[in-house]
Copies of this chain bind each other. A is one copy, B any other.
């Protein structure tokens, strides 16, 4: 099998796998934050603004972690900087 074939295969496999693994714990962390925010809302409804503000900043930071993985995956699929070495 040619070198290029191996490269395409491996990139495809790892892209899907890394994405699947990479959303796992951010999802869990989001679930935890949201459920705690709902609990906080139920206990202190008048602090709604502070709670939702903190929640959304938090969710954004967790999302950023999943975005790191997405970025690496997209780099690998569309613009792998190591590919020129392979084409030579």
Chain B residue numbers with a CB within 8 Å of A1 are 3, 6
User: Secondary structure of the A side of the interface?
Assistant: helix
Q: How far is the CB of A12 from chain B (nearest CB, A)?
A: 6
Chain B residue numbers with a CB within 8 Å of A17 are 14, 16-18, 20-21
Encode A1-37 as 1/0 by CB contact (under 8 A) with B.
1111111111111111111111111111111111111
Chain A contacts with B in 41-78, Cβ cutoff 8 A: 41-48, 50-52, 54-59, 61-66, 68-70, 72-73, 75-78
Residues on A lying within 8 angstroms of B by beta carbon are 1-48, 50-52, 54-59, 61-66, 68-70, 72-73, 75-78, 80-83, 85-86, 88
